[in-house]
Amino acid sequence: MTGELSPIDKAKFVAAKRAVEYVEDGMRVGLGTGSTAAWMVRCLGEMVREDGLKIKGVPTSTRTADLARQVGIEVISLDEAKWLDVTIDGTDEYDGNLNLIKGGGGALLQEKIVATASDMMVVIADISKRVETLGAFPLPIEVIPFGLQTTQALVEETLVSMDVLGNNVTLRMNGDVPFVTDEGNHILDLHLNRIGNPRQFSLVINQIPGVVENGLFIDICDAVVIGYGDGKVEVRDINAGTVQEDRIDFVENENLFTDLTD
């Protein structure tokens, strides 16, 4: 099955395969959302089915919950878990300090809550997600529907005084209607190009009435697992200050995941 993957999907797969090595029997695991995180959920499902791994998963979206149940992972709520051993999730961007932009899939609020309720957050990514300065990927912010236009206007006004290169704000759409998050909110995408001070930006933008949360993950990620299309994997641990390289061998006739969809 892996022999049929594109280089980018191979990179996602090997990153996910390496990241699930952080998971041990009996753990409570935060399950991220997105195409890369879906590979991780599938790998954990294989370990549950084939190796007898016993874990409890806390998903960060309804679609992740559906996939987790499909592959045999026991799903519980964060309130039931209370605290998590590790959360594994993807990212839209990461910098050298392992600060992130997340929310391209529209699940940033649950993702941030779950990640901060974990002893460790591991991010899986391909090398294209590495940036010198955050902001090339549009920064999502989750906003409540009430007063949406007023909130957007306040956000646009605030951007004028911030250390960013762009100030275009767009409402995320789902076809002809606004995108709706699992919490019933909307997403504003901020096209900033460059965020000079992500920490300050995160604090300021969250003070705007109507803004629930933003997609900047500052000092939350502990390690990033970077996959490459040739099977190479690089693990950067911000706490230990280490960089390790590994390699995941492909099994060309492997039929894992063939009955699953993102």
Q: Active-site residue numbers? A: 111
Nearest to 224 by CA among 83, 59, 30, 89: 89
**What span, in angstroms and rounded, lies between the C-alpha atoms of 249 and 57?**
27
91 is in an annotated binding site: yes
Annotated binding-site residue? 135: no
Flag whether 166 is marked binding: no
Nearest Cα to Cα of residue 44 among 15, 23, 65 = 23
Spatial distance between the Cα atoms of 245 and 225, rounded to a whole number of angstroms:
10
Known binding residue 112? Answer is no
Provide the β-strand partners of residue 169: 190
Confirm whether residue 229 is marked as ligand binding. no
210 labelled ligand-binding: no
66 is in an annotated binding site: no
| Nearest alpha-carbon partner for 91 in 39, 141, 130 | 130
Amino acid identity, residue 138? P
102 a known binding residue?
A: yes
Is 52 annotated as a binding-site member? no
Angle between helices 7-19 and 35-51 (to 10 degrees): 50
Residue set of the binding site for substrate: 33-36, 89-92, 102-105, 129
Residue set of the binding site: 33-36, 89-92, 102-105, 129
